[in-house]
């Protein structure tokens, strides 16, 4: 049985939003940062959410026939961002968590595409 990409994105976005709310307690990002309460868990969930929102936006504003390539391109950008942070002499843990969250979210979608478990609409 195949599932639509948009349905998976909606489910994953909802899960990421819930994770962010759980990890922040509903506090505003700027307040958490000012208070020094941003943790790797918050940044990981934020990265998941950001990557999923980015691919949903790209998919909605592009040629529907190119959705698989858009996913591959977005994943590669997040992987490169993670590699760039990892190369730093003293990588910031929140940024590692953020980039890893995005890579993990997009990798899950990419694996579903590779296994033919999803369709574009």
Give the CA angle between residues 88, 45, 108 to the nearest 5°: 90
Rounded to whole angstroms, the Cα distance separating 15 from 60 reads: 20
Domains of the chain: total? 1
Q: What is the pLDDT of residue 113?
A: 72
Q: What is the pLDDT of residue 116?
A: 64
CA dihedral 47, 13, 5, 74 (to 10 degrees): -20
pLDDT single digits (tens) 62-76: 887 788 889 999 999
Write out the residue range of the structural domain in which residue 59 sits. 3-119
Give me 55's structure tokens.
């691919």
Q: What is the pLDDT of residue 1?
A: 36
């Amino acid at each position: 049985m195949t599932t639509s990409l948009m349905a998976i994105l909606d489910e994953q976005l909802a899960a990421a939003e819930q994770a962010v709310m759980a990890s922040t307690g509903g506090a505003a990002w700027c307040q958490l940062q000012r208070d020094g309460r941003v943790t790797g868990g918050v940044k990981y969930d934020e990265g998941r959410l950001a990557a999923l929102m980015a691919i949903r936006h790209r998919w909605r504003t592009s040629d529907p026939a190119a959705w698989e390539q858009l996913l591959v391109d977005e994943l590669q950008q997040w992987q490169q961002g993670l590699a760039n942070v990892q190369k730093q002499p003293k990588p910031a843990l929140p940024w590692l968590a953020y980039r890893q969250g995005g890579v993990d979210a997009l990798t899950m979608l990419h694996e579903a595409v590779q296994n033919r478990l999803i369709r574009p609409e």
